[in-house]
């Protein structure tokens, strides 16, 4: 009998009904003083539910632009983004905001925490903005802080936290609305190695719990934690990488014991 991993991941490139993200032919040009910058020149990417994918590539190749477009923070010039079966491209501002609240959690290199609010309030805010009452939002925020090992810091100001703790807090906040897809742009880029390790462990745990993650990184150690590495160059995805395919694990045949 073969034992296989319980989650079958589809072949990259083949659209599946359970794909969380399908990006096709994405183009984005920024007007700049000298000459227009073609940040995305036809990028394609597919993520199945539960995948942890790292995007790597030289500085300026379009990684952040890709993430921002997927998050609905900016609009594409051409191409399509389908998130959890819904088309992102072509949505109104309101539609985009609704979609972001329902489906997207995003974490940046420099945390973007609200310094005037407590740790707990930072985590509770997205749920309150999404329409949840303060009390249940704070209860959920407390649960998240527990899960992320920050509950003793609930009342503190974010400013007193270490870099790793600040990024864990930013991740807790990104998870507040139970996003379909967690996006992270160089989440360890501003951290020392201890902080980076802390944050990486957290991504691993979230992935083990079934969270779909798309993360941009320069760091090979971080990328190695992902199940698949996608490589970008000059505004395109040049290698979608191989997903961790279910590998049959042979059970060793018992060596026959000679009879008496």
Distance CA 202, CA 224 (A): 14
Token readout for 44 is: 């394609």
CB of 31 to ligand ADP, least distance (A): 7
CB of 38 to ligand ADP, least distance (A): 8
Q: Does 32 bind ligand ADP (CB under 6 A)?
A: yes
CB of 152 to ligand ADP, least distance (A): 35
Which one of 31-39, 56-64, 85-93, 135-143 is the stretch in contact with Mg ion (CB under 5 A)? 56-64
Mask for 139-178, x = binds ligand ADP (CB under 6 A):
----------------------------------------
Among 30, 129, 220, 242, binds ligand ADP (CB under 6 A): 30
Q: Does 238 bind ligand ADP (CB under 6 A)?
A: no
Instruction: Collect all residues with Cβ–Cβ distance below 8 Å to 260 and sequence separation of at least 6.
Output: none
Which one of 45-53, 61-69, 217-225, 240-248 is the stretch in contact with Mg ion (CB under 5 A)? 61-69
Specify the 3-state DSSP secondary structure of 89.
Answer: coil
On whether the CB atoms of residues 52 and 200 are closer than 8 A, the answer is no
DSSP state letter for 249? B
Distance CA 124, CA 114 (A): 12
Q: Does 188 bind Mg ion (CB under 5 A)?
A: no
Specify the 3-state DSSP secondary structure of 189.
Answer: coil
Q: Which is nearer to ligand ADP, 28 or 166 (CB)?
A: 28
Q: Does 64 bind Mg ion (CB under 5 A)?
A: yes
Which ranges of the chain does DSSP label H, i.e. alpha helix? Answer: 63-70, 93-103, 119-129, 134-147, 163-174, 193-208, 220-225
Mask for 50-69, x = binds ligand ADP (CB under 6 A):
-------x-xxxxxxx----
- CA torsion, ordered 5, 148, 225, 49, to nearest 10 deg: 50
Of the candidates 105, 125, 127, the residue with the CA atom closest to the CA atom of residue 117: 125
Please provide the size of the chain in residues.
Answer: 260
Distance CA 175, CA 144 (A): 8
CB of 226 to ligand ADP, least distance (A): 17
Q: Does 36 bind ligand ADP (CB under 6 A)?
A: no
- 83 interface partner picked from Mg ion, ligand ADP, none, CB below 5 to 8 A per type: none
User: Could you list the residues that contact Mg ion (CB under 5 A)?
Assistant: 63-64
| Site residues, ligand ADP (CB under 6 A) | 30, 32, 37, 39, 57, 59-65
């Amino acid at each position: 009998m073969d034992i296989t991993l319980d989650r079958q991941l589809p072949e990259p490139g083949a659209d599946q009904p359970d794909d969380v993200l399908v990006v096709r032919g994405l183009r984005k040009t920024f007007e700049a003083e000298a000459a227009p910058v073609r940040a995305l020149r036809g990028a394609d990417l597919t993520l199945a539910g539960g995948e942890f994918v790292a995007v790597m590539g030289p500085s300026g190749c379009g990684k952040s632009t890709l993430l921002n477009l997927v998050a609905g923070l900016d609009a594409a010039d051409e191409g399509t983004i389908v998130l959890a079966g819904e088309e992102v491209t072509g949505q109104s501002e309101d539609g985009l905001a609704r979609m972001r609240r329902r489906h997207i959690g995003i974490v940046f290199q420099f945390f973007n925490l609200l310094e005037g609010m407590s740790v707990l309030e930072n985590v509770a805010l997205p749920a309150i903005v999404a329409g949840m009452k303060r009390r249940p939002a704070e209860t959920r925020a407390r649960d998240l802080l527990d899960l992320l090992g920050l509950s003793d810091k609930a009342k503190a100001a974010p400013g007193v936290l270490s870099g790793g703790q600040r990024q864990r807090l930013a991740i807790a906040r990104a998870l507040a609305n139970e996003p379909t897809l967690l996006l992270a742009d160089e989440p360890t880029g501003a951290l020392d190695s201890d902080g980076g390790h802390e944050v990486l462990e957290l991504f691993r745990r979230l992935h083990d719990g079934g969270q779909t993650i798309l993360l941009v990184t320069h760091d090979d150690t971080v990328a190695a934690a992902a199940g698949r590495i996608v490589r970008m160059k000059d505004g395109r995805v040049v290698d979608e990488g191989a997903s961790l395919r279910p590998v049959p694990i042979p059970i060793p045949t018992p060596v026959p014991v000679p009879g008496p």
